[in-house]
Structure 1
Amino acid sequence: MESSGARRKTAWGRLLPACLIALAPLGGLAGRSAQASPAAGPPLTIHYLERRVERPVPLNNEDPIPDDEGARGAELGLKDSNATGRFIGLAFTLDTKVVEPGDDIGAAFRDMPDRRFVVLNAPAADVLAVADLPESRESVLLNIGAPDTRLRDAECRKNLLHVLPSRAMLADALVQFLAFKRWSRILLVVGPAPGDALYAEALKRSARKFGARIVAETRYDPKGGDVRDTALREFALPTRGPEHDVVAVADEAGEFGTSLNYNTASPRPLVGTQGLTAAAWGRPVEAWAAVQLQGRFRKLAGRTMRPVDWAGWMAVHAVGEAAVKARSTVPDTVRTILTAPTFEVGGFKGRPLSFRAWDGQLRQPIFLLWPGAVTATAPIEGFLHHRTELDTLGLDEPESACRAFSGRSG
């Protein structure tokens, strides 16, 4: 039976969006009558630099990875930042550059003027190549495309902040949920791609961290074939093993993971890169006024917001928020605010977000999603930390080998 407290909470959850919608016309009138403040300085330029990569052929042709993933999020971040900044005389511009496969991303970076704030949507190797350029020493690079944990560990860089969650954060969120449910025995199926191996390693680390157990690990390679017609029999062998509570799949390219649903040898839930997934953002996210962000993005891009889109929006929004707090577009002033241990910014995730002082990773809740709903939000209740429960996700300070940020704390 639902408690009265739960009913009140549900009622307020329904009432708040209605109130916001009802007040929207008043906000519009206020916006038309209010005058923007005189310019407090020249516009602050934010750069968006992307490496075009070969997209995997989707298992479902109706759900391809969009070519503009990330870029449209940054574009929305610019619109939101200008909407806020204009009332105190601040303005922002976004310069977008896409580097084709095989071209020199370092040369593209050097060609950019005023490269103090750069949103990077690129694989880990390109991120490090840009971060190590002498010309980027005074830049703030915001990584939205590389989830590699090593960039937050031994291969961190002082000029590099991470908006996209690491694989370690995603795996920790998922295994926290499994531990909470007491589904601690995991059968792991790993695909052939390098990212699959990295995701599997993150799951193993999380299992050790939270007391779960990998009871068996199998490798599966579809060899470029379409498994949809053979899935009924194809997965009986790779999903057979010791008694287990869930089947975890590591298939970042989406070559076969979706077809594991209902085709495992034993009737067990599917989790990992398909099934119940951990992500920074997703279609079902609507709480904490996220439905407003989803609607604005859909209107702009004509599609749903994906995790890298959210990271692109968040990166530009964070720079804009730092400028608003500083009431300035002077790059050195904005950088000081953005990289301060006390800096916090909203991200439609129910709590303030901040960058970790020891590795530059943005602290943030992680959603546990399946296509129809948000099942849970990590950190999961009961997983405690002396600083903030958000630091139970990913590399905590004692776990990280990052020394580029030494001397900072928080």
Structure 2
Amino acid sequence: MKGRIIILLAGLSATAPANAQQPAAQKTVQTVQAAVLRVDMPELPPISRLDTPPGDLGFAGARLAIEDNDTTGRFMGQDFDATEITATPETASAELDKLLAEGVSFVVTLANEEQTLKLADQAGDKALIFNARARGDRLRGADCRFNMIHTAPSHAMLADGLAQFLMWKKWTNWFLIAGSHPEDIALADAYRRAATKFGAKIVEERTYEDTGGGRRSDSGHVQVQQQMPVFTQRAKEHDVVVAADEAGIFAPWLPYQTWDPRPVTGSAGLVPHSWHPALEAWGATQFQNRFEKLATRRMWDEDYQTWLALRMIGEAATRTQSTDAPMLKEFMLSDKFEVAGFKGQKLTMRDWDHQLRQPILLTTGDVTASVSPQDQYLHQTSALDTLGIDRPETQCKF
């Protein structure tokens, strides 16, 4: 009897794995197809060669997101893929047409404000656009589109994040220096709005005119050492310099070169970012290490914002247990959606302009000095809504 039981158990052990594997073998893997479309604009090299964008900017973040999505997806019969496309302003429309013809329902764009808006209008109801670069407030306001989600923080969010910290420091008198390009003017507007919102005073404003010419030369630092003190002298008494230089023309030359010894913030010095490679809290160290192993470099804002966009898709697929594009879109735009972003709290969607709520990191070159929203700023819905355009202020009408 004992021998018969052993034989029977042995037989069960031999057949059980085969039976257990059978359902998995029959399970159909469903693929969620996305794309990352980066539109590269012709531009001058940055002031510092350390700020030269890497060739895989944004794409490296996408690759990490696909790895993360697949880690969970493989247990649910889900597979994730993201096509990487580099385009110029002249070829971007044709590239998007190809993606739409192939049935791609999710497109992450890395483009300026004008190009992003054109691509969103072109996509219409055929695809959901994730804006992972453009910061302009008009994209979340008068030019908002229902088929667009913003994982890049807006100018208003960045300005408010910095303003809250400056108010905490009691640096209430600002000397605002703005560039002459349209994107500089838009960023300066965001700082003016933030000053009014939080009670700061802009004691003086000046415009740094971009007259063209090379920004790198053997004598460049000598010229700046002579020019910047003169440009900033005789400013009204101020606590801090706030630079609005989205075009990257002059701000890096401001620290240590102003006439009055004052801290520089905004586009140089203490800078608001969506991400910083020195962040270590909230599991960020492990996240940074995984990215650096994959990309052999540090993570940029565009990498993080692209990663976040694709992780939103993966999180929606996991939560809904579906790969159906309309269902994923509906869930991501609902009040039930949230996604982890290694920033200490869940990231959720604003239904009035489709901006992803997120903390703003205030960074120097080496450290994350602070994270906004600051503790003293409260909100009836979410403290994150103290950053950027709140529901009563929005000009967005879907």
Q: What TM-score do the two structures reach when normalised by structure 1?
A: 0.86
Deviations 1:134-191 (A, max 9, x none): x531421110011011010111000100000001100000011111111010101112
Instruction: Look up the match of 1:374.
Output: 368
- SS of 1:238's equivalent in the other structure is helix
Runs of at least 5 residues in structure 1 that lack an aligned partner in the other structure: 1-33, 405-410
Matches within 5 A, 1:119-198: 119-133=108-122, 135-198=123-186
Deviations 1:176-233 (A, max 9, x none): 1111111010101112322211111111111011101111111123533444222222
Residue among 282, 287, 293 paired with 1:293: 287
Instruction: Look up the match of 1:342.
Output: 336
Say yes or no: does 1:396 pair with 2:390. yes
Say yes or no: does 1:94 pair with 2:82. yes
Matches within 5 A, 1:226-245: 226=215, 227-240=220-233, 241-245=235-239
Structure 1 residues 343-352 or 258-267, which shifts more?
Answer: 258-267
Q: Conserved in 2, the CA contact under 8 Å of 1:282 and 1:307?
A: yes
- SS of 1:297's equivalent in the other structure is helix
Return the alpha-carbon distance in structure 1 between the equivalents of residues 182 and 223 of structure 2: 25
Instruction: Look up the match of 2:271.
Output: 277
Deviations 1:293-315 (A, max 9, x none): 11111111111101111000000
Q: Conserved in 1, the CA contact under 8 Å of 2:37 and 2:85?
A: yes
- SS of 1:247's equivalent in the other structure is strand
**How far is the alpha carbon of 1:81 from its aligned partner?**
0.5
Structure 1 residues 85-94 or 386-395, which shifts more?
Answer: 85-94
| Percent identical residues | 38
Residue among 258, 261, 270 paired with 2:255: 261
Instruction: Look up the match of 1:361.
Output: 355
Instruction: Look up the match of 2:70.
Output: 82
Q: Conserved in 1, the CA contact under 8 Å of 2:30 and 2:77?
A: no
- SS of 2:65's equivalent in the other structure is helix
- SS of 2:38's equivalent in the other structure is strand
1:378 and 1:37, CA in 2 relative to 1: closer, same or farther beyond 3 A? farther
Q: Residue type matched to 1:393 in 2?
A: L
Return the alpha-carbon distance in structure 2 between the equivalents of residues 98 and 62 of structure 1: 22
Q: Residue type matched to 2:80 in 1?
A: F
Return the alpha-carbon distance in structure 1 between the equivalents of residues 31 and 138 of structure 2: 35
1:149 and 1:381, CA in 2 relative to 1: closer, same or farther beyond 3 A? same
Deviations 1:247-304 (A, max 9, x none): 1112223332122111111110000011000000012111101111111111111111
**How far is the alpha carbon of 1:40 from its aligned partner?**
5.1
Matches within 5 A, 1:44-63: 44-63=32-51
Instruction: Look up the match of 1:331.
Output: 325
Q: Conserved in 2, the CA contact under 8 Å of 1:219 and 1:238?
A: no
Structure 1 residues 39-48 or 335-344, which shifts more?
Answer: 39-48
Runs of at least 5 residues in structure 2 that lack an aligned partner in the other structure: 1-19
